[in-house]
C-alpha cells in the first residue's frame, strides 16, 4: 500500500525528465514547471537538500531508522562532501549506500573542513606530506566501481552492483585535530600486517596531521584491558621490513557493548580493524551499537584472509606472498621425491573453507600431481579412489607430489577425520589431513607389496609469518590509505578492498550477507588450468551416478 502511494505522488513529467536529463536536470525542469522566480541553480540545490527526507528509498539499500529534514553546511555550494552524501540519498542513485556519520548522527550543519592534501598551485612542495594533490586527484561525488566489469550477451549492466569509489575527498567530516585513531588487529597472522600498521600511522600523521594514533595490543584484548600504545612515525618506520604483527594479535571473545564503552571512555573516534570474516561480523555489530548510542565513531575494516575467502573483493592482502612462500616447501618435496624411487611428497597448506592457496601454489610450482581442496569431495578407497591412483602412479612414474588444503579433511566421502576441538574464536580445528594421508598411503602400498616412502611437510606457520612481498606491500599501502580517506570523510560501517583492481567501499551488511561466497567452482578457469596440468581425475567411484 505504501509503495502504491509513493508511485502516485511522483509526477510523470518529472520521471521523463529524470530519464532524459538526469537528477539535476529533472529538478531544474520541475522548478520551471512550478514557475519559481529563483534561478535554476539555487532552486535545484535547495530542493535537493530538502528532498532527501521524503524521497523513497531504493529497495537495495537498508531502510533508514531516521528522517533527515535538511543536510546543510557552511558554504554548502562549495562542500563536495555534502554533494556526495546528497547524491547517495537520491532515489535515482544506483551506488550501494555506505553509511556516514553525518546521517547517523542526524547532523544538519557540516563544517567545511578542507583536506590538508589539497594543493594551492601547480608548483607546490611535497615535503611534509600535505598540499600536494591537485583538485583532479580527489574523488568526484558520483564515482563507483562495477562488481563485474565483463559482460556477455545475456548480461545486463543494471544487474551488477556499484560500489562507492574510495579515495581522498576534498572536504572532510572530521577535523584532524579532533581525531583519535585506534588500530586493532584480530585473528591470525598474515604477511603485510606491519605494512598496514605503518601506513595507517604514516598517512594519518603526515597527510592528515593527526597526532593521536594508538594501537591495541593483542586484538580486542587490548581494548578490554585498556592496553594501548601511542604510535608515531619514528616507532613504526621500519616495521614493514619484518614479518609477524608489531601490535600483536589474538583470537578472543567478543563483547560489543564493552568494546564501545572502552572506545568512548578513551575518546577513540576512528577505529581501523584488520581481520577476516569473523572480524567483519563483529565490526557490523560494533557499528550498530555505536549508531544506537549516537556516538561519533567511525568503524572501518581492512579485510584479511590467508586462504583468500573474503567475498566480493579481488583478493586479500598477503595472499600473493603466501603463494610465493609455499614454493619453498614444494621445492623440498620435489627434491625428496625425485631422489628416491617410489616416493610420495605431501605438502599441507592453509585453507579451511576454500582451496585457493593450494590451487594457486600448485599452478605456480607447475610440478604438482594431485591437488585436494575443500570444495570438491573425493573417495580415499575404491577402484577410482585416491589411494589406488597414487599406487598406480608410483608403479608407472615412481613419484607423486600432493598438495592438500587443510579443509580437505571435510571432503572425504568414505572416511572421517576427527576434529581437534575449537579455538578461542569458536572456529573448528580440523584434524591433520596431511598426516592422515601419509599413514593411509603407507598402509595401502605395503598391502600391495610396494615399499614406498612418504615425506610429509607442513609449512603453514612459515607461510604466514613472513614479511610481505613487493606486490602485497603495494596493496597494503593502498588499502590503508583509502581506509583513512573514507574515515576522515565520515564514512563508517564498511570494508575497503579492491574490486576489478580499483579500491572501493563495501558496506559490511553486504560483506556479511552470505550472498557472495568466494569458493572454487568446477567452471573456475584456474581450476580448469590445474586439471589440465595435473591430469588428476575426480577420485569419485560412482561419478556417473552423481
End-to-end alpha-carbon separation of the chain, Å?
Answer: 47
Q: How many CA atoms lie within 13 A of 483 on its CB side?
A: 33
List beta partners, residue 504. Answer: 165, 497
The per-residue pLDDT for range 423-432, each reduced to its tens digit, is: 766 677 788 9
> Residues 32-49: what's their mean pLDDT?
37
**Spatial CA neighbour of 361 closest among 277, 462, 477:** 462
Sign of CA dihedral 412, 414, 420, 426: positive
The per-residue pLDDT for range 224-274, each reduced to its tens digit, is: 999 999 999 999 999 999 999 999 999 888 999 999 999 999 999 999 999
> Residues 124-153: what's their mean pLDDT?
78
Task: Give the residue with greater pLDDT, 32 vs 71.
Answer: 71
pLDDT given at position 75: 57
Q: Which helix (H) or strand (E) holds 321?
A: helix 319-325
43 has a pLDDT exceeding 80: no
441 has a pLDDT exceeding 80: yes
Q: Residues of the chain with pLDDT > 70: what percent?
A: 83
- Cell numbers representing residue 99 in the block: 553509511
pLDDT given at position 370: 98
pLDDT given at position 447: 96
The per-residue pLDDT for range 484-505, each reduced to its tens digit, is: 999 999 999 999 999 999 999 9
437 has a pLDDT exceeding 70: yes
pLDDT band at 140 (very low <50, low <70, confident <90, very high): confident
User: What is the C-alpha separation between 428 and 26, in angstroms, rounded?
Assistant: 55
pLDDT given at position 465: 93
126 has a pLDDT exceeding 60: no
**Spatial CA neighbour of 119 closest among 136, 144, 102:** 136
pLDDT given at position 546: 63
The per-residue pLDDT for range 7-32, each reduced to its tens digit, is: 344 444 444 444 444 444 444 444 44
Q: Using CB atoms within 10 Å of the CB of residue 460, give its burial: 0 to 12 exposed, 13 to 18 middle, 19+ buried.
A: buried
Residues 6+ away with beta carbon under 8 Å from 380: 386, 387, 412, 414, 415, 440
pLDDT band at 71 (very low <50, low <70, confident <90, very high): low
CA dist 344 → 178, 376, 391, 435 (Å): 61, 22, 10, 13
Backbone φ and ψ for 428, nearest 5 degrees, come out as: -70, 130
The per-residue pLDDT for range 325-360, each reduced to its tens digit, is: 999 999 999 999 999 999 999 999 999 999 999 999
92 has a pLDDT exceeding 50: yes
> Residues 535-546: what's their mean pLDDT?
86
pLDDT band at 125 (very low <50, low <70, confident <90, very high): low
The per-residue pLDDT for range 292-332, each reduced to its tens digit, is: 999 999 999 999 999 999 999 999 999 999 999 999 999 99
User: What is the C-alpha separation between 11 and 119, in angstroms, rounded?
Assistant: 44
pLDDT given at position 76: 60
49 has a pLDDT exceeding 50: no
Q: Residues of the chain with pLDDT > 90: what percent?
A: 72
pLDDT band at 142 (very low <50, low <70, confident <90, very high): confident
Mean confidence (pLDDT) of the chain:
86
> Residues 165-169: what's their mean pLDDT?
96
Q: What predicted TM-score, i.e. pTM, was given to this entire model?
A: 0.84
Q: Using CB atoms within 10 Å of the CB of residue 75, give its burial: 0 to 12 exposed, 13 to 18 middle, 19+ buried.
A: exposed
User: What is the C-alpha separation between 489 and 473, in angstroms, rounded?
Assistant: 25
Can you tell me which residue has the cell 628416491?
340
User: What is the C-alpha separation between 46 and 419, in angstroms, rounded?
Assistant: 62
User: What is the C-alpha separation between 465 and 325, in angstroms, rounded?
Assistant: 10
Amino acid at each position: 500500500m505504501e509503495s502504491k502511494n509513493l508511485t502516485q505522488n511522483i509526477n510523470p513529467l518529472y520521471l521523463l525528465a529524470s530519464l532524459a536529463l538526469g537528477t539535476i536536470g529533472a529538478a531544474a525542469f520541475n522548478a520551471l514547471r512550478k514557475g519559481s522566480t529563483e534561478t535554476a541553480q539555487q532552486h535545484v540545490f535547495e530542493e535537493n537538500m530538502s528532498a532527501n527526507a521524503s524521497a523513497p528509498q531504493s529497495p537495495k539499500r537498508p531502510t533508514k531508522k531516521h528522517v533527515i529534514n535538511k543536510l546543510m553546511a557552511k558554504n554548502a555550494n562549495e562542500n563536495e562532501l555534502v554533494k556526495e552524501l546528497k547524491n547517495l540519498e537520491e532515489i535515482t542513485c544506483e551506488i550501494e549506500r555506505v553509511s556516514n556519520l553525518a546521517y547517523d548522527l542526524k547532523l544538519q550543519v557540516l563544517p567545511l573542513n578542507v583536506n590538508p592534501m589539497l594543493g594551492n598551485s601547480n608548483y607546490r612542495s611535497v615535503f611534509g606530506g600535505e598540499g600536494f594533490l591537485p583538485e583532479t586527484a580527489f574523488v568526484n561525488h558520483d564515482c563507483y566501481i562495477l562488481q563485474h566489469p565483463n559482460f556477455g550477451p545475456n548480461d545486463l549492466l543494471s544487474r551488477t552492483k556499484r560500489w562507492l569509489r574510495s579515495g581522498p575527498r576534498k572536504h572532510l567530516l572530521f577535523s584532524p585535530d579532533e581525531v583519535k585513531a585506534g588500530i586493532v588487529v584480530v585473528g591470525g597472522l598474515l604477511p603485510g600486517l606491519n605494512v598496514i600498521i605503518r601506513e595507517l600511522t604514516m598517512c594519518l600523521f603526515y597527510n592528515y596531521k593527526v597526532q593521536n594514533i594508538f594501537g591495541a595490543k593483542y586484538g580486542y584484548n587490548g581494548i578490554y584491558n585498556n592496553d594501548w600504545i601511542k604510535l608515531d612515525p619514528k616507532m613504526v618506520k621500519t616495521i614493514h621490513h619484518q614479518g609477524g604483527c608489531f601490535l600483536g594479535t589474538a583470537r578472543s571473545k567478543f563483547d560489543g557493548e564493552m568494546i564501545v564503552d572502552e572506545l568512548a571512555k578513551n575518546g577513540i573516534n576512528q577505529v581501523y580493524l584488520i581481520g577476516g570474516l569473523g572480524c567483519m561480523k563483529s565490526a557490523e555489530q560494533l557499528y550498530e551499537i555505536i549508531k544506537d548510542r549516537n556516538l561519533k565513531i567511525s568503524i572501518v575494516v581492512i579485510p584479511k584472509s590467508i586462504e583468500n575467502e573474503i567475498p566480493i573483493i579481488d583478493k586479500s592482502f598477503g595472499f600473493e606472498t603466501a603463494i610465493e612462500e609455499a614454493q619453498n616447501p614444494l621445492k623440498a618435496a620435489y627434491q625428496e621425491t625425485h631422489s628416491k624411487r617410489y616416493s610420495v611428497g605431501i605438502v599441507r597448506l592453509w585453507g579451511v573453507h576454500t582451496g585457493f592457496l593450494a590451487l594457486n601454489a600448485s599452478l605456480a610450482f607447475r610440478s604438482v600431481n594431485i591437488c585436494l581442496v575443500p570444495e570438491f569431495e573425493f573417495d580415499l578407497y575404491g577402484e577410482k579412489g585416491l589411494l589406488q591412483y597414487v599406487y598406480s602412479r608410483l608403479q608407472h612414474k615412481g613419484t607423486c607430489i600432493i598438495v592438500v588444503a587443510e579443509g580437505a579433511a571435510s571432503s572425504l566421502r568414505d572416511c572421517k577425520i576427527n576434529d581437534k576441538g575449537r579455538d578461542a574464536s569458536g572456529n573448528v580445528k580440523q584434524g591433520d589431513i596431511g598426516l592422515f594421508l601419509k599413514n593411509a598411503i603407507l598402509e595401502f602400498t605395503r598391502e600391495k607389496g610396494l615399499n614406498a616412502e612418504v615425506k610429509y611437510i607442513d609449512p603453514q606457520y612459515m607461510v604466514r609469518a613472513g614479511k610481505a612481498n613487493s606486490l602485497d606491500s603495494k596493496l597494503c599501502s593502498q588499502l590503508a590509505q583509502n581506509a583513512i580517506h573514507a574515515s576522515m570523510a565520515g564514512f563508517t560501517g564498511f570494508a575497503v578492498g579492491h574490486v576489478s583492481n580499483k579500491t572501493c567501499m563495501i558496506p559490511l551488511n553486504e560483506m556479511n550477507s552470505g550472498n557472495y561466497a568466494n569458493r572454487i567452482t568446477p567452471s573456475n578457469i584456474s581450476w580448469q588450468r590445474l586439471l589440465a596440468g595435473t591430469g588428476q581425475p575426480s577420485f569419485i567411484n560412482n561419478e556417473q551416478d552423481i
